[in-house]
Amino acid sequence: MAKPNKRRRRRRRARIVVPRRAVRGAPPGVLDPPANAPRPRIALIEYGPDGASERAVESIAELAAPAPSAAVRWINIDGVGDADVFAALGDAFHLHPLALEDAVHVHQRPKVDDYGDHIYFVARMPAGEEPLVLEQISVFVGRGFAITVQEHPGDCLDPVRERIRGARGRIRGAGPDYLLYAVVDAIMDAYFPIVDRLNVRLEQIEERVLLSPGDGVVAEVHAIRHDLHLLRRTLTASREALGALVRRDSDLVGDDTRAFLRDCQDHVDQLLDAVEACRELSASLMDLHASAVANRMNEVMKVLTLIATIFIPLSFIAGVYGMNFDRSASPWNMPELGWRYGYPLALAAMLATALAFLWFFWRRGWLSLRRDRPPRDDADGA
């Protein structure tokens, strides 16, 4: 069992990621993707009120001519490992170099930037729970198109795709700004199960602490607090980015979409409230664990004290009769040593003393058999 715990600790330490920066001294807008980033895979969904189609795209050149009947083009790119692809993407859709740089240099905090003819939005998407991993997803929104850039394949956007394919809701009749809302809302919804599971884990730990506090509780609660801190920091930045997007005066975001974005902001507030409640519970668990450990130590000390209290008079009796006085020198020098039953009487006195102490402890409720009863007052014993 020790090896999985060590492996889990190593994985949790790997979650602490230092944001990657561009080469020192490099001019702004340089596309320098991470060395281990996967190569981009491009998928295109074109949809409008009359229908929807989707296909894989091999190169950016295939995106030059949009379909005449498509009102919105959703271009999804999985992987940021090819700078040439993003350079061609920027040329094809006139994307700002700073926005492209942020899309390639992942580990950006959630934010929104308005470049006039397009909006750049950064979100953090849950990509794993054990350990907790949040990947960057960048969203470019322009006239007639929306581009999502993800670090790795796999996301939580399948409900959005299903709504487009099945023409459910208003997404097929709305513009790319509504697609931005749908993407961000799906990402925020993916946080709710994570927070719920963290809350369930904390409640389970609380039951364990009350029954029998173990040595691994502190490490487990500390790991959960680390996840909660990461969630709180990410969700706070997401709320600020959504608020800035709602307040921003841009014709790329309609008034109807702003109302939905405010609703998404309310969801983030609910998540933050739940995260804060979990953080308070985790803090109280640390105090509860410390109290439980202290109580266990007090129980141990109580048992040792009771044992020592019982043996104090026994040691006194044994010490008295262990003194080497010469009986022939005086008739007062321990005459009972000459008794026929002196030794059995001494043992009986020790046993009676021990039983008397045990009876006294039992009457006071200090023994484990009467742990649930409060100590007796002197008035009760009268």
What average pLDDT does the segment 172-196 reach?
A: 94
Predicted pLDDT of residue 2: 40
Residue 250: how many other CB atoms lie within 10 Å: 16
Residue extents of the structural domains in the chain: 31-290, 321-381
Average pLDDT over the chain, rounded to an integer = 83
Is pLDDT of 18 > 50? Answer: no
Is pLDDT of 72 > 80? Answer: yes
pLDDT in tens, 280-318: 888 888 777 777 777 778 878 888 888 888 888 888 888
Length of the chain measured in residues? 382
**b/e map 340-358, b = 16+ CB within 10 Å:** eeeeeebeeebeebeeebe
Q: Worst-scoring range by mean pLDDT, 61-65, 172-176, 209-213, 276-280? A: 209-213
Amino acid at 331: P
CA distance 260 to 253: 11
Is pLDDT of 381 > 50? Answer: no
pLDDT in tens, 80-115: 988 899 999 999 999 999 999 999 988 899 999 999
Amino acid at 230: L
Residue 82 sits at φ, ψ, to 5 deg, of -135, 110
pLDDT in tens, 127-142: 877 788 899 999 999 9
Q: Worst-scoring range by mean pLDDT, 123-137, 150-164, 199-213? A: 199-213
* Contact between 286 and 206 (Cβ < 8 Å): no
Nearest Cα to Cα of residue 47 among 182, 184, 176, 185: 176
H or E segment at 213? none
What average pLDDT does the segment 42-46 reach?
A: 93
pLDDT in tens, 330-376: 777 777 777 777 778 888 888 888 888 888 888 888 776 444 444 44
Counts of helices then strands in the chain (DSSP H, E) = 10, 7
Tokens coding 180: 């931005």
Residue 11 sits at φ, ψ, to 5 deg, of -65, -35
Residue 123 sits at φ, ψ, to 5 deg, of -130, 165
The CATH architecture to which 31-290 belongs is 2-Layer Sandwich (3.30)
| pTM score | 0.74
CA distance 252 to 142: 7
Residue 276: how many other CB atoms lie within 10 Å: 12
CA distance 309 to 313: 8
Is pLDDT of 249 > 70? Answer: yes
Is pLDDT of 30 > 90? Answer: no
Between 259 and 33, whose confidence is greater? 259
